[in-house]
Chains A and B, each alone.
Chain A
Amino acid sequence: MKNLSIYIALVVASFSLAFGQNIIVSPIGVNSDGDDFSSGITLRANEMYFTADKSGEQTLYHAKLKNGKWEISEKVDSDVNSGDQNGSATLTPDGQYMVFASYEHSVDGIGRTDLYSARKVNGSWTDVQNLGLAVNSKYWDSQPSITSDGRTLYFVSDRPAASGGTNIFYSERTREGWSQAKELTSVNTDSDEMSPFIAADNKTFTYSSNKSGGEGGFDIYFAKINADKNAFGFKNAGAAINTEYDEHFYVVAANSETAFFSTNKPSEKANFNIYTAIPNPHVAEDVVFVHGSVRDIDDSTPLGSDITITDLTTGQIVANLRSDDISGEYSSVLTAGRNYSITAEKEGYLFYSENFNISSSITNKDITKDITLSKIAKGKTRLLIFFDFDKSTLQNESKPELARLTKFMNDNPNVKIELHGHTDDRGADDYNNNLSLERAKAVSTYLGNNGIQSGRIGTKGFGKSKPLIVDTSDEARAKNRRVELVIVSI
């Protein structure tokens, strides 16, 4: 019987493979008789920022998925929608930073249509800024798509380029801001390439083009892109998605079978409309969601804070994001098989740091990590400081935390602190007392060498006398081995 079941399963599987996937394309509920396009979705694909042209003016709208249906929540704030034509938004995974396009925006532009950024502050989109000369030109610059680490921005421009027509460009974030935009030469042709989209895995890429050989008009094309921005594996999305009309903005939801795209094929609603395609035939690699909320440790008030996630192996910051000012929630996308630190900072509060490992064999790709912050006045926080075994030498992985601590001391010049060293339960008391004190002093010396007055820093070694967790497991011992920052006075 078991053999028969296996045989049947194999037959069904091969049948499916032989005849391919059945992709169901359906319009979503927010479509109108004007153009509706460019679905900038949040990480979990339960919120969308799309562009609608209801009366000759393209406007950015916010929609939410409620009980399986998309409904318009509100028009995005007027700070964003202050141009003659506004839209085509892309968001970072935390949903707190947006890049959008606008023609004749109230914030001065460089060219005709430019790219702008906006931040979400207290639930409102504000702080609109032009992305500047490195990205924008005096021509038409539009249709942005930002990577999940917020480090690369793809967009379209009709500026003069090596290839004809409209072309896809990219810019990378540096310490000085966005880098000078470069052509995505592995994708562009002498036809028009538009609507680039990069999925959360930062590899799966889609775009539209009216080059010959497609179904007609603009077609969606699939590709993969590597770290050198070379695209490969080009493929037309096929007749289930492309038509003789124009298709744009193919958006792949992370860890999901759902994709979104826009087309002006004839339908119940006129002009461009947004559709879902399920299952998405251009699969992106699953990513690990890390999310949680940031709250006040005393009264659980949600807090908006700056969150930094660092790859401890490379020392590279992999995500700079913000927790929402109103809900305190944050979310990010990380790669499995790495060791990370996460730090939350907010003015008036002690920063919080924690390290965590994401196993390469992780099955649950949804990690919740809630963070609590203490007000400076009576705060205490654990420092992510790493030492060589049985030594007080600071490891390289400690550098980001030490830099953060130095900055905190400089930003709060009246604060006096004590550094408390602790060990786990193993070894003699005297030895552990001395080791923990030496480790606290190592941190104090670092601060002194970086301009912090020694009179502001006290050091104590508690050895194994004050464990966080009374347990002998490796995990408990790792938590007990620590250096803590304690506010003495402000």
Chain B
Amino acid sequence: MKKIVLILIATSLMTMSSYPQEDVLRPKGRADGGGSKSSTHPWALGLEGGLSYNKYGADLNWTDANGESTSANSVYNVFESLSGLSPHFGVFVDYDIDKTFGIHVKFLYNQFKYSNNSDGIVDFYDPTTFPSTYLGTEIVNLEVEDKFSFFSFDPSLRINANEQLYFLIGPSFNYGIGTRTNQFDFTKEDTGINFVGPNATSDNSSSISASEDFKSTRYGINLGAGYKFKVANNVYLAPQINYNLDISSYNNQGLFNDNQTLTEGVKILNISNQSVNQIRFSITLWFENL
């Protein structure tokens, strides 16, 4: 991560050195002898939309009954890594400070969605007896999906490498909207030991769905880069890539609290250092010289 940031900064600094402050043909803030924003028309508005690649990660730590660190062949190991694609779209406002620097502020509807599935062992018990009778250990597949949406506010410093290539760096403020949904789907082969209970959808499958009003606020760091192509007078199309680094903790975040524990038999799973990072692939449309 650190390496990516350093490379981006070094690249922008190298290309900045070949970009004059101003000259007799172009006043400060102008990228060329015409076409792009003038120093007295520094504003631009735009549209942005695309697909995001979301990556959930966490540290999983299994301990035994004595609190000793151990391992487990559990379906809950699925929480180690989840990923998925989701859409984002919104608008942005851009302002030229000078030929090299500007302010770029995005307002996005930003969905996060990630999933994974994993095979592991599950101990089955008869819930109708007391104490519960051990029925056997089965290999079960668990598929997990988590989905929630933010209103994202990303104010960034824009650094122009040249007329077309630019970089973005800044904080990311994400405000939860709508409903967060989790889905846990267990499936196994027909072995005679069945899923029972209110979550059982058949003898060999069980499903847990949860949803809640998503009122979370999360913070991150946004790094981006884009490349402009002129499509009409004062109109530019720029493919853009952004990396959103999650820096918030997961305390009191509902189902995915940090330091959450799950029990598998006598073993306990501690889930910590959860993070959800995002790479956004966007197409942006710029309307300049406002």
A positions within 8 Å CB-CB of B: 35, 37-38, 51, 53, 56, 58, 84-88, 100-103, 112-113, 139-140, 142-143, 158, 160, 164-166, 191-192, 194, 208, 210, 212, 216-218, 246, 248, 264, 272
Contacts and interface: CB of A to CB of B under 8 A. Distances in A.
Contacts of B41: 164-165, 192
Given A103-B21, A143-B24, A158 B233 contact: no
Contacts of B20: 56, 84-85
Contacts, number: 96
29 contacts: A37-B33, A58-B23, A58-B25, A87-B25, A102-B24, A103-B23, A112-B22, A113-B24, A140-B22, A142-B24, A142-B25, A158-B40, A160-B40, A165-B41, A166-B27, A166-B39, A166-B40, A191-B289, A210-B233, A210-B289, A216-B233, A217-B34, A217-B35, A217-B233, A246-B34, A246-B35, A248-B34, A264-B32, A264-B33
A414 to B, nearest CB: 49
A113 B33 contact: no
Contacts of A143: 24-25
B33 A272 contact: yes
B206 interface: no
B28 interface: yes
A165 B37 CA distance: 9
A113 B20 CA distance: 13
B117 interface: no
Given A158-B27, A166-B38, A246 B32 contact: yes
B129 interface: no
Given A246-B32, A246-B35, A264-B33, A164 B24 contact: no
A159 B25 CA distance: 15
Nearest to A144: B24
Contact of A56 (B18, B25, B27): B18
Given A165-B41, A166-B40, A212-B233, A112 B28 contact: yes
A164 B23 contact: no
Contacts of B23: 53, 58, 85, 87, 103, 113
A56 B16 CA distance: 13
Interface in B1-41: 18, 20-25, 27-28, 32-35, 38-41
Contact of B27 (A100, A140, A212): A140
B34 A58 contact: no
The 4 closest A-B pairs by CB, nearest first: A140-B27, A246-B34, A218-B34, A85-B23
A299 to B, nearest CB: 43
Most buried by A among B23, B28, B233, B289: B23
Nearest to B19: A56
A158 B29 CA distance: 11
A51 B40 contact: no
Nearest to B233: A216
Nearest to A167: B40
Nearest to A87: B24
Given A158-B38, A165-B38, A192-B38, A103 B24 contact: yes
B28 A192 contact: no
A160 B22 CA distance: 18
Contacts of B22: 85, 103, 112-113, 140
Given A158-B39, A164-B41, A192 B24 contact: no
Interface in B26-70: 27-28, 32-35, 38-41
A53 B38 CA distance: 21
Given A166-B40, A272-B25, 13 more contacts: A84-B20, A85-B20, A100-B24, A102-B24, A103-B21, A103-B23, A112-B22, A140-B39, A164-B40, A166-B38, A192-B34, A210-B233, A264-B32
B232 to A, nearest CB: 8
A103 B25 CA distance: 10
Contacts of A37: 25, 33
A236 to B, nearest CB: 14
A100 B24 CA distance: 9
A102 B25 CA distance: 10
B40 A248 contact: no
Contacts of A160: 40
A136 to B, nearest CB: 13
A88 B25 contact: yes
Contacts of A166: 27, 38-40
A35 B32 CA distance: 11
Contacts of B18: 56
A166 B249 CA distance: 50
Contacts of B233: 210, 212, 216-217
A87 B33 CA distance: 14
A56 B18 CA distance: 7
Most buried by A among B18, B22, B25, B41: B25
A326 to B, nearest CB: 28
Contacts of A165: 38, 40-41
B151 to A, nearest CB: 33
A188 to B, nearest CB: 12
A246 B33 contact: yes
B31 to A, nearest CB: 12
A216 B23 CA distance: 23
A51 B24 contact: yes
Contacts of A158: 27-28, 38-40
B23 to A, nearest CB: 4
B157 to A, nearest CB: 22
Contacts of B33: 35, 37, 218, 246, 248, 264, 272
B225 to A, nearest CB: 24
A447 to B, nearest CB: 50
A177 to B, nearest CB: 23
B229 to A, nearest CB: 14
Contacts of A164: 40-41
